[in-house]
Chains A and B, each alone.
Chain A
Amino acid sequence: MTRRLRQLLLAWILLMVLLAIEFGASFIPLGRSARPLVLIPAILMVAAVGTLFMQIGREIAVVRLFAAAGLLWLSILLGLGSLDPLTRTDYHVQAANPK
């Protein structure tokens, strides 16, 4: 019992450390286009919550299938969805009536 509580406490500390790293990393000069790299600690925090709080590793296999499917389809949406902005030619037009 205390083993599980200890595991949870360590998980929480890990999350707070990752939050601090993420916060600190946001001060690193990265250049506007590379700024999204600041999300890397966030991804690690998501993994920590999923494995340590939500205990995905201890569930029946079908649960991991569902979670993996969600993540895979999310990457299709974000990845293949980004294909257009990355390849489209932007014919820049000055806004006639900027709001």
Chain B
Amino acid sequence: MADASYLPHEFQYSSARHQAETAIAGMWLFLATEMLFFGALFLSWIYSRHWNQAGFDAGAQQTNLTIGTVNTAILLASSFVYSAGLAFIEIGNKRRLIQCCAVAWMLGFAFLILKFGVEWHGDFHKHLFPGSHFAITGPLSGGAQLFFIFYFVGTALHGLHMIGGLILVGWIILRARRDEFSPGYYTPVAAVGLYWSFVDVVWIVLYPLIYLVGRGP
């Protein structure tokens, strides 16, 4: 950060830099907690697939690989664009920051539309929500339903985190438009960027667990 000795800071900090670094450290620690949160879901994937491999994979083969893969590409682009926005405000280009945040936001929104508007809609239509009218019957039914429990819980939780991310990115855009960020102060932009990239990381792990492992020869 540029020399920030003139910048304000909270009374328990010794300088603005001290506070900024601490805020970023706090965000990373929060992300570590999220690793454990989703980690518990991954353990349930391991157990469910271990005890019911054939059925579990049969369920996975019903997922929409096209939408899943396109969505992964969308999120990677969104993370890239937001990081570019952060790079722009580090040198003081507020206009580019706002543009990048807006593009990142729209890509994230597109992800949600594809995921919940199109893909989930299709899943329900194909009777893939576990329960009494589940599409797959017979000995593979239990395992397939276990897969879709993981699928719906995982994508719902990821989606909720995405919605939180969209709110945060939107908040950054509003603050940027009010001229609150500069090369001397962009901590919230960086912190939200970390969160946004992390939500991307969660999806990067969910994608093969949902769309790839159960498929293939």
Chains A and B form a bound pair: yes
A66 in the interface, Cβ–Cβ < 8 Å?
yes
Q: Are B43 and A78 in contact (CB under 8 A)?
A: yes
Tell me if B165 is interfacial: C-beta within 8 Å of chain A.
no
Contacts of B141 in A (CB 8 A): 98-99
The answer to whether A45 and B204 touch across the interface, beta carbons within 8 angstroms, is yes
Q: Do the beta carbons of B204 and A95 come within 8 Å of each other?
A: no
In this complex, what residue of B is CB-closest to A39?
B208
Chain B 16-51: CB-based contact to A (< 8 A → 1; otherwise 0)? 000001001100110111011001101100110011
- Docked complex Cα distance between A30 and B214 (Å): 11
Q: Complex: how many Å from CA A60 to CA B26?
A: 12
Would you call the interface of chain B mostly helix, strand, loop, or mixed? Answer: helix
Which B residues are CB-close (under 8 A) to A36? 213
Q: A70-B31, A74-B35 are in contact. Are A85 and B212 (CB under 8 A)?
A: no
A34 to B: closest C-beta gap in Å? 10
Are A4 and B87 interface neighbours, CB within 8 A? yes
Q: Report yes or no: B79 in contact with A16, Cβ–Cβ below 8 A.
A: no
A90 and B28 within 8 A (CB)? no
Interface residue? B91 (CB, 8 A): yes
In the complex, chain A residues whose CB is within 8 Å of the CB of B205: 39, 42, 46
CB distance from B63 to the nearest CB of A (A): 12
**Supplied contacts A22-B208, A49-B79, 15 more A-B pairs, CB within 8 Å:** A5-B87, A15-B76, A30-B216, A35-B57, A53-B80, A59-B21, A60-B21, A63-B24, A66-B25, A66-B28, A70-B31, A71-B35, A73-B36, A78-B42, A85-B47
Q: Which 7 A-B pairs have the closest CB atoms?
A: A70-B32, A12-B80, A70-B35, A26-B212, A29-B217, A4-B87, A85-B50
Q: Please list 24 pairs of residues, one from A and one from B, whose beta carbons are closer than 8 Å in the complex, sorted by A's number.
A: A1-B87, A22-B212, A26-B216, A27-B217, A29-B217, A30-B216, A30-B217, A32-B57, A33-B53, A38-B208, A46-B204, A46-B205, A49-B197, A49-B200, A50-B197, A50-B201, A53-B197, A62-B25, A73-B32, A77-B36, A77-B39, A78-B39, A78-B42, A99-B134
A-to-B contact residues, CB < 8 Å: 1, 4-5, 8-9, 11-12, 15-16, 19, 22-23, 26-30, 32-33, 35-36, 38-39, 42, 45-46, 49-50, 53-54, 56, 59-60, 62-63, 66-67, 69-71, 73-74, 77-78, 81-82, 85, 90, 95, 98-99
